[in-house]
Amino acid sequence: MRKIVAGLYITLDGVVESPEKWHFPYYDADMARSVETLMGRCDAMLLGRRTYEEFAAHWPHQDPADPLAALMNERTKYVVSATLTDPAWQNTTAVTLQELAALREGPGGDLGISGSPTLVASLLREGLLDELHLLVHPLVGGTGKRLFEHGDHIPLKLTASQTFATGVLDLTYERA
């Protein structure tokens, strides 16, 4: 069985929206290692429809010599969506939640989610998310989409933690 693992940048007050506007001052070698380690465990990416559209508009147009661009473009990608049926970005397949559950039960490495907070929250509610990696930034976002907006009660167990020199907490949770 494969694991579904998610990694998100998040503020102290739970904001996950538009991290490109607030997380860069905290991005250092420790965070890069953490992100690279998580991505390296996964042999496929899971994306929600909105994140897919943002990534598909950006990554195919980047320099193919850039290792991150090459990784993003070449890696197998699954878009979990009820509305997107024919994704154009190379190596991408659209799947429903039911198809994702079957994919999770099959062979292969972990399925990783970068971003896609709506998908992450949905998979937590459905019991399909195996690990949640939060990079908690030491700032209050104030406004923006939050990871837990539905008043969900989902018990989690902290399985690993690390504090970076920037004050970012790298927290790993599993379902309790």
CATH code at position 72: 3.40.430.10
Task: Supply the Cα-derived Rg of the chain in whole angstroms.
Answer: 16
Could you read off the pLDDT of 38-87 as tens digits, one per residue? 888 899 999 999 999 999 999 999 998 988 888 889 999 999 998 888 89
- Hey, which bits of the chain come out as E strands? 4-11, 42-48, 76-80, 92-95, 110-114, 131-137, 156-163, 169-175
pLDDT tens-place string over residues 84-118? 888 999 999 999 988 998 999 999 899 999 889 99
Side chain identity at 169, as an amino acid letter?
Answer: L
Domain that holds residue 161: 4-175
Cα–Cα distance between 88 and 128 in angstroms, integer?
A: 26
This prediction's pTM: 0.90
Interval 103-159: pLDDT, tens: 999 998 999 998 899 999 999 998 999 999 999 999 999 899 999 877 778 999 999
* Contact status, residue 176 vs residue 157, Cβ threshold 8 Å: yes
Contact assessment for residue 125 and residue 18, using Cβ atoms and an 8 Å cutoff: no
Spatial distance between the Cα atoms of 100 and 98, rounded to a whole number of angstroms: 5
User: What pLDDT sits at residue 151?
Assistant: 75
Structural domains of the chain, count:
1
Rounded Cα distance, 95 and 102, in Å: 10
